[in-house]
Amino acid sequence: MTPITPQDLARWSAAYRSSPERRLATLALSQSDLKAVAFAPDAANAMHQVFSLEVPTLPVTNQKHSGRCWLFAAANVLREKIAKELNLEQFELSQSYLAFWDKFERANYFLDAMISLAERPTNDRTVAFVLQTGVHDGGQWDMFANIVEKYGVVPKDAFDETWQSSNSRAMNYVLNRALKAAAVKLRALCREGAPAEQIDAEKKAVLGRVYGFLCSCYGEPPRTFDFACTDKDRVFHAERGLTPQAFAEKYVMDLVRGAVSCIHAPTADKPYHRTFTIAQLGNVAGGRAVKHLNLPMEELKAAIIRQLQDGRIVWFGSDVGHDGERQAGIWDDKCFELELLSGLDLGISKADALDYGFAAMNHAMCLTGVDLVDGRPVKWKIENSWGDESGRKGYYICSDSWFDQYVFQAAIDRAYLGELAALADQAPIELAPWDPMGTLAD
């Protein structure tokens, strides 16, 4: 290792004191938020919420203090089909219903993983990763599809929000504490050579208590419900005694089954036009695996635009931790002069950002529009799930250059993939549990 010398410090200090830019930055940063100082209003003013292609959508939703963005965004994709078919002005599906079953199924998935890895020590990298991840609010498109396939969906008024569903941190803490305590006992039984029947009985006893705890937090999910609504023309519609599965099958299962999770991962280990899955990532035992088709960005964008042109919004995953102004509802790398303000070299490619842990998907939303100039996108309209007090009534905008750098995934119907759709049927290459393409949106 090379130590920093007094001579180094003297040289750097002299450079700082002789730089007007550094002194000006010091004055600005001493009393102001760094991102506020770096904000470039001229670039931001160019980000108008006007788009050449825009899909009409319902008002935004609000995930509140929870990490359920992937469920909100996916439910928003489905609700548009129902609302259009029934001519509804307002409609939401129950995100709590989906979250309940995801939590419950993921508890089982976690315990199964602990049992299957029982012979490995807790400092084994896979075991440590599964323990660290635990059960939380985030998820992937294929995990959403698993829940809908098994449990269906219900309208929000059939299973509404509770305090715990909207403020999930304490609930998640208690759940993960209980699951790790259970893992200690189950792994001990495995190492002691207990019969499989005893291990399974212990696991199911834990799951029974988990079910009861989740019911206390969310309420118990309905087995049947009545669906009643009045449309824009004041026409009343009612369906009685529906099961969640029947409701999903009637209205939205074609969307769920038709979607392919496509990614843009330009790293050396992930060739384009191949499919990938991630070890130890999932929620429903026996359900579909998380599976991604890796596409070049131009092909990904073209498929998204075709779906938007057909009047269908698109679920997508991105990293919203960079170059964003939440109140204005803008994501744009040109809106922040961070290099000018900091004097630092901040350039990093998308591939290197993935490989070096700088960027990965952390939030899912819906693309609802795009502005095309000479056939090429310059900015995108986004339906967020952070309520209607930021952006334009909760709708955001991102530049195409930001899209290139920080959008990693989109769920696209096979119909809009054209000849690429057949590639989704390949047997996937398995990636390590900690691969950035396994990051969960929350």
- Cα(297)–Cα(270) distance, integer angstroms: 14
Task: Retrieve residue 257's tokens.
Answer: 């089954």
In sequence order, which residues have a C-beta less than 8 Å from that of residue 145 and are 6 or more positions away? 256, 257, 259, 288
Task: Return the active site residues.
Answer: 69, 363, 384
Q: What are phi and psi of 32, to 5 degrees?
A: -140, 155
| DSSP secondary structure string for all residues of 136-188 | -S-B-HHHHHHHHHHH---BGGGS---HHHHB-HHHHHHHHHHHHHHHHHHHH
Does residue 77 contact residue 101 with C-beta atoms inside 8 Å? no
Residue 244's alpha-carbon distances to 94, 181, 314, in angstroms, are 11, 33, 23
Does residue 249 contact residue 154 with C-beta atoms inside 8 Å? no
Instruction: Cite the beta strand spans of 40-148 per DSSP E.
Output: 53-54
Q: Looking at the DSSP assignment, which residues form a beta bridge with residue 397?
A: 330, 381
Dihedral over Cα of 331, 332, 337, 338: its sign: positive
Three-state DSSP string of 352-420: HHHHCCCCCCCEEEEEEEEEEECCEEEEEEEECCECCCCCECCEEEEEHHHHHHHEEEEEEEHHHCHHH
The helix/strand/coil state of 327 is coil
Does residue 264 contact residue 295 with C-beta atoms inside 8 Å? yes
